Structure 1
Amino acid sequence: MSASEIPQGLNGMDLIIDGWFHERGTLWPGQAMSLQVAEVVYHGRSKYQDILFFKSTNHGMVLVLDGVIQVTEHDEHSYQEMIAQIPLMAHGSPKKVLVIGGGDGGVLREIARHSSVEEITICEIDEDVINYSKKYLPTLAIGYTDPRVTVKIMDGSVFMAQNPGTFDVIITDSSDPIGPASVLFEAPFYKGMHDALAPGGVICTQGECMWLHKDLIKPLIQAVSKFCTSVEYAFTTIPTYPSGQIGFILGTKGKESCKVPVKVDREMEESLNYYNKEVHEAAFVLPSFARRAIFE
């Protein structure tokens, strides 16, 4: 839920009961995720949202925004590596990369592994997420130390409109489609991403869960297919996200499928915890129920 939708008096701290943080989201009714809390290290409210960092007993540091788990140190690599490496490897030799959201810095960390990249720009509207992630999630926020990174504290849609035909890869690392983030799951935003791509470019966005959000994913893919050359859905497994799975919507501009990586870097794969060429290709193989629900 967005900050404006949080009932009066409820905040991240209200979700800690008997030493456990309980995530209950409106987008996953009837189920919840609980993590045992060792220590709360920060809680406050930015201009945009409620922010909570706590040390868990088994999952390391945890970032929670508006009551929803965004990152745990235990499993963040499966999300950060896949949302970044799939489009980067599918492109093959990106030089200019844009990140929308992703204030924790994990996507930046993954992009920085690529020597072909000359410029990395991140548009994050909430500067507090960046500042507190640098303090409490240094293994992710290390991405900000790369000299190729430029930080823009602003609306990513505005920045893309100002830079048409510019970027080889655009990655949107967003929260769920409720409150302020809802516009990031609408066709005009995807059209803005497509227009900001250079020829042959790739976009990749957080694409929600195939177990929970088929009715959201299908119409979005249908809308995006009207202006992208190809539109595909891939996924990764991640224990602390709803139903243990999160998807990615990938679109291209003058380029065909992203299912097979153009670039394969076995040396880089040795430094990664989740992504490799085989996982890249397998990520697009959907269970029958999801394939039918999303694409038929």
Structure 2
Amino acid sequence: MNALKEGWFSELSTMWPGECFSLKVKQVLHEEKSKFQDILVFDSENYGRVLVLDGVIQQTERDECAYQEMMAHIPLAALKTDPKKVCVIGGGDGGVVREILKHPSVEEVHLCEIDEGVVNASKKFLPHMNMSFESPKLKLHIYDGAVFLKEHKNCFDVVIVDSSDPVGPASSLFGPEFYKSCKEALNENGILCTQAESMWLHLDIIAGMKDFIVDIFPNVSYSTISIPTYPSGAIGFFICSKDESNDVKVAKRTEWFESAKDTLQYYNPGLHASSFVLPLFASRRLGLKQ
């Protein structure tokens, strides 16, 4: 791959023109061209093992906790009732599933990943994710997530869309038809959490998404987190509830946290709330309540 040169990996993409993030490579462990994308796994000098799809970092051992924990625990903790059935679209590395399983009330997690190559590479080379794939609560579907949701109406307490950027195999997950399918797949008080880019790089994309999401969901908020190896060092989520009265910025369920906090590195109920406080440039552009 062109991104690997002289012992370094450089994240080159038109999604962030004029800049890139680089990591020193200790050893390349896996390179594959799947049916859908290029898959790369390598050991880095400072961030442990790294998973890369189509030249874009998806996770590193050192900082994946920020993304996986917040993406899972914000929507699950924001529910007014205990979650029982959760769907993850994308997320073939298994990290979000790992975090969901820390909620004892969850009975089923449906993981729908279109690229089996991502699942297989994660099972083999990302051992800190392997526990999630072995859980009897996990139902793995190698399938198109957009189609899967259309086939499962009123099924889930929470739907989590752990997608890559809106290019390649994830492009179908960023339009209004997909969000309508997400809403229909949720039960009457369900919550959607979806990856929604960086406010520092993609504010126009985020604002465009917000414009159609607020026509679909009665309750829409935007949360942002710090994560060093994602473009600009930040990533955001749309948190959308079918229950207009549910303040998703507040963690209502905290008993699971007391039993799981020794296994957590990033999420806590205070950070849950503060992640929705946006800088003025972003809050002005998005026009969402804070």
TM-score, scaled to structure 1 = 0.94
2:148 is paired with a residue whose SS is helix
Structure 1 residue aligned with 2:210, among 211, 214, 221? 221
2:250 aligned residue: 260
Aligned equivalents of 1:238, 1:97: Cα separation in 2: 25
Kept in 2, the 8 Å contact 1:23–1:67? The answer is: yes
Kept in 2, the 8 Å contact 1:39–1:54? The answer is: yes
Aligned equivalents of 1:254, 1:284: Cα separation in 2: 18
Kept in 1, the 8 Å contact 2:223–2:238? The answer is: yes
Structure 2 residue aligned with 1:138, among 120, 123, 127? 127
Alignment of 1:161-200 (within 5 A): 161-200=150-189
Structure 1 residue aligned with 2:199, among 210, 214, 219? 210
Alignment of 1:149-160 (within 5 A): 149-160=138-149
Q: CA deviation at 1:270?
A: 2.9
Aligned equivalents of 1:157, 1:247: Cα separation in 2: 21
Alignment of 1:114-129 (within 5 A): 114-129=103-118
Alignment of 1:31-42 (within 5 A): 31-42=19-30
Matched AA of 1:124:
E
Matched AA of 1:207:
A
Aligned equivalents of 1:209, 1:15: Cα separation in 2: 22
Matched, 1:242 2:234: no
Equivalent pairs, count: 284
2:281 aligned residue: 289
1:132 is paired with a residue whose SS is helix
Matched, 1:270 2:262: yes
1:14 is paired with a residue whose SS is coil
Cα-to-partner distance string for 1:240-272 (whole Å, 9 max, x where unaligned): 000000000111112422100111123322320
Matched AA of 1:27:
M
Identity of aligned residues (%): 50
1:6 aligned residue: none
Q: CA deviation at 1:239?
A: 0.2
Structure 2 residue aligned with 1:54, among 42, 48, 67? 42
TM-score, scaled to structure 2 = 0.96
Kept in 2, the 8 Å contact 1:134–1:142? The answer is: no
Q: Structure 1 regions of 5+ residues with no counterpart?
A: 1-12
Q: Structure 2 regions of 5+ residues with no counterpart?
A: none
